[in-house]
């Protein structure tokens, strides 16, 4: 068992090492299947562990070696496989596998094909460390590791300097969050004297802790989550991260890495549950981000940017669920979101592939006939994310909304439901503008329109099936079917039983469900009428109203950061260099040097070789000495 667990992360690392070292000399086919094969084996092993745990086995812990040991400051390189981690492992390796296979087609012919697979495998390794670690430091390894892979993959096409800058922005903004997480780790160690989850949660009830300390711990961890999961105020890196190849956006910036923040809070839920203030902040930031990102997404015209803001918005909903203490509901949405958002990105990739790199939806249109598989799968994913009844997103979003209603009442519910309505609106706008109407691209593009190869469409179809049927994982209890709330039960050993929605009456739940569905359906209907029937095309920036321009310009977050932080820091850097360092400090040092030299010169003038001067000096000196003694 130990060896199996160890193999799960290390096989992808091995794949990365092989492809990274000799991949340049191997044929594409070998590189691609080597990378995918490593992930496939990891996936199968994860399935085996899943079956093992589902059969009622206890969580498994594997210690490889002590990583850092300074007295009690002890960190083991160790893995923990419990329901929560095995579930994340399945998502990471399962969706990861599909995206690896898809990439074989998508990256075909790219000069950096081997590099791409090496990075992708390295990412899987890091992400597995993150979710499989048995302590917070292991989580931190993965946490920074996925950030690094994200950097490498956003800047994958490094010939373009702008992409390199986007990569750096992502890494640095993530590091801001990481500092919060790191300080949170230190505080946890100061309080619990251990980094291991088992120790921390065992000591939690025994130590009578000041709630303020727990709030501080919760908030510091949440700062890390905000960075990694692109929440306000650290979300602006994610849209720029779309510079990376599209499979990267699907894997890292939608399905897995950005959900690390959710995982962190869910994993540390015993801490958060005792820190209500921290949970309130989590819920508030989540809801706010969800709305702001939804509004921005309404007025984006880059197919990937729309999806990026959609991801930010959905992550916000997950944090809202966490803030309500509905950890299983958040994990459920992580799961369904991984299915349909990965599918949407891969679909977008297929469109971009067909149009030779075009990403602006204003230059698309009418693609449903030329790209039937892409169209149908994209359609299903759009319906799923919009919350159309019986599709996966409907159930997972309903869980969150019901918990919000039960947790904080109708006001928050209305806002959260509006967030859901926005999702339906911007997603169906994207769908209809892209696939309906007439083709608005160039003649060459029209002549070259083609559906993607099977290696790309088969992953789309599998993900489409999952997007449709994913709701079966966790059907609401009020349906009274066997297997209802299966996922919540499976995860409960890891994330507890807290589900405020159980307090609601059945009528209330049906009512909430109906209202949210109605909202989603009417949003889709309106978008169909506007963009499908009347075939409106999004306008250029100049024609937008003032409010729309604010949305299109992302609420000017980037401009504000540039003005308030980036430029002042750069200015400070130059001021410090020229004035403080060169002029003041070094000037002072040189001043002392030249002063000493000047004094030396003065003294040298005394030594002029004239014996009379020396005699005079001697006499004066002797007299002074004599006087001083006498007095």
Contact residues: other proteins, CB under 8 A:
24, 65-71, 73, 137, 140-141, 144-145, 148, 151, 155, 158-161, 163-165, 167-168, 171-172, 175-176, 178-179, 182-183, 186-187, 189-190, 569-570, 572-574, 576-577, 580-582, 585-586, 589-590, 593
Residue 108 CB: number of other CB atoms within 10 A? 15
Provide, rounded to whole angstroms, the least separation between the CB of residue 175 and other proteins: 5
- Give how far Cα 228 sits from Cα of 170, 232, 398, Å: 9, 11, 25
Which CB sits closer to other proteins, 51 or 190? 190
CA 534 to chain centre: 37
Residue 444 CB, shortest distance to other proteins, in Å, is 25
In this complex, which beta carbon is closest to other proteins, that of residue 210 or of residue 581? 581
C-alpha 158 chain-centroid distance? 21
Non-local (6+) Cβ contacts of 404 within 8 A are 320, 321, 324, 412, 413, 416
| Smallest distance, other proteins to C-beta of residue 137, A | 8
Of 540 and 570, nearer to other proteins (C-beta) is: 570
Q: Which is nearer to other proteins, 155 or 437 (CB)?
A: 155
Shortest Å, Cβ 580 to other proteins: 8
Q: Which is nearer to other proteins, 171 or 412 (CB)?
A: 171
Distance of alpha carbon 476 from alpha carbon 396, whole angstroms: 9
**Closer residue to other proteins (CB): 158 or 560:** 158
| Nearer residue to other proteins within complex by CB, 172 or 479 | 172
**Residue 587 Cβ, how far from other proteins at the closest point, in Å?**
9
Query: Hey, how many other C-beta atoms are within 10 angstroms of the C-beta on 583?
Result: 11
The string of DSSP letters for 185-197 reads HHHHHHHHS--BH
Question: Closest distance between other proteins and the C-beta of residue 85, in Å?
Answer: 18
Q: How many whole angstroms separate alpha carbon 292 and alpha carbon 295?
A: 5
Residue 83 or 227 having the CB closest to other proteins: 227
The rounded distance, in Å, linking the Cα atoms of 320 and 393 is 16
Residue closer to other proteins, measured from CB, 25 or 480? 25
Query: What is the nearest approach in angstroms of other proteins to the Cβ of residue 158?
Result: 4
Query: Looking at the DSSP assignment, which residues form a beta bridge with residue 360?
Result: 302
For residue 119, the minimal CB distance to other proteins (Å) is 12
* CB of 69 vs other proteins, minimal distance in Å: 6
Phi, psi of 554 (to 5 degrees): 60, 40
Q: Which whole-number Å values give the CA distances from 625 to 530, 612, 613, in the listed order?
A: 106, 20, 18
Pairing of strands 60-70, 73-81: antiparallel
Helix ranges (DSSP H) in 327-474 = 327-354, 372-386, 392-408, 410-435, 443-448, 454-469
C-alpha torsion sign, points 296, 299, 303, 305: negative
Contacts of 193 (CB under 8 A, 6+ apart): 72, 199, 203
């Amino acid at each position: 068992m130990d060896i199996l667990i160890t193999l799960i992360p290390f096989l992808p690392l091995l794949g990365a090492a092989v492809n990274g070292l000799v991949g340049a000399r191997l044929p594409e086919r070998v590189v691609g299947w080597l990378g995918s094969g490593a992930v496939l084996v990891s996936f199968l092993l994860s399935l085996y562990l899943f079956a093992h745990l589902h059969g009622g086995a206890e969580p498994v812990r594997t210690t490889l070696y002590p990583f850092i040991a300074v007295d009690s400051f002890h960190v083991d390189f160790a893995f923990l496989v419990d329901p929560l981690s095995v579930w994340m492992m399945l998502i990471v390796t399962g969706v990861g596998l599909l995206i690896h296979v898809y990439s074989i087609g998508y990256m075909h012919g790219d000069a950096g094909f081997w590099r791409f697979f090496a990075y992708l495998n390295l990412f899987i390794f890091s992400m597995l460390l993150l979710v499989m670690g048995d302590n917070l430091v292991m989580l931190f390894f993965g946490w920074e590791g996925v950030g690094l892979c994200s950097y490498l993959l956003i800047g994958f096409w490094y010939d373009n300097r702008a992409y390199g800058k986007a990569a750096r922005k992502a890494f640095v903004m993530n590091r801001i969050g990481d500092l919060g997480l790191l300080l949170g780790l230190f505080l946890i160690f100061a309080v619990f004297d251990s980094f291991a989850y088992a120790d921390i949660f065992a000591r939690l009830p025994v130590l009578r802790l000041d709630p303020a300390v727990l709030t501080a711990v919760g908030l510091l961890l949440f700062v890390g989550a905000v960075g990694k999961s692109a929440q306000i105020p650290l979300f602006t890196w994610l849209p720029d991260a779309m510079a990376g190849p599209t499979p990267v956006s699907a894997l890292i910036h939608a399905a897995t890495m950005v959900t690390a923040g959710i995982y962190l809070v869910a994993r540390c839920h015993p801490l958060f549950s005792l820190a209500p203030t921290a949970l309130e902040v989590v819920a508030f930031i989540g809801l706010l981000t969800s709305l702001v990102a939804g509004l921005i997404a309404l007025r984006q015209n880059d197919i990937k940017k729309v999806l990026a803001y959609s991801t930010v918005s959905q992550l916000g909903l997950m944090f809202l669920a966490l803030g309500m203490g509905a950890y299983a509901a958040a994990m459920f949405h992580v799961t369904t979101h991984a299915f349909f958002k990965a599918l949407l990105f891969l679909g977008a990739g297929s469109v971009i592939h067909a149009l030779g790199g075009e990403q602006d939806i204003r230059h698309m249109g009418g693609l449903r006939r030329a790209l039937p598989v892409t169209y149908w799968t994209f359609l299903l994913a759009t319906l799923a994310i919009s919350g159309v009844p019986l599709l996966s997103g409907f159930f997972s979003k309903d869980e969150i909304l019901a918990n919000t209603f039960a947790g904080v009442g109708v006001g928050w519910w209305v806002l959260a439901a509006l967030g859901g309505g926005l999702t339906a609106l911007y997603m169906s706008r994207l769908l209809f503008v892209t696939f309906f109407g007439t083709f608005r691209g160039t003649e060459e593009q029209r002549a070259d329109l083609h559906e993607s190869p099977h290696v790309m469409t088969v992953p789309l179809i599998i993900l489409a099936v999952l997007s449709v049927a994913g709701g079966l994982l966790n059907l609401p209890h009020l349906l009274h079917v066997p297997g209802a709330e299966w996922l919540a039960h499976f995860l409960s050993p890891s994330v507890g039983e807290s589900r405020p929605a159980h307090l609601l009456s059945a009528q209330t739940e049906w009512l909430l469900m109906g209202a949210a569905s109605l909202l989603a359906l009417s949003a889709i209907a309106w978008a169909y009428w506007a963009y499908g029937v009347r075939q409106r095309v999004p306008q250029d920036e100049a024609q937008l109203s003032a409010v729309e321009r604010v949305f299109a310009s992302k609420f000017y977050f980037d401009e504000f950061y540039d003005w308030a932080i980036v430029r002042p820091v750069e200015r400070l850097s130059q001021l410090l260099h020229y004035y403080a360092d060169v002029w003041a400090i070094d000037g002072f040092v040189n001043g002392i040097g030249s002063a000493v030299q000047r004094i030396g010169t003065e003294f040298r003038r005394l030594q002029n070789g004239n014996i009379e001067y020396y005699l005079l000096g001697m006499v004066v000196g002797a007299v002074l000495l004599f006087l001083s003694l006498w007095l």
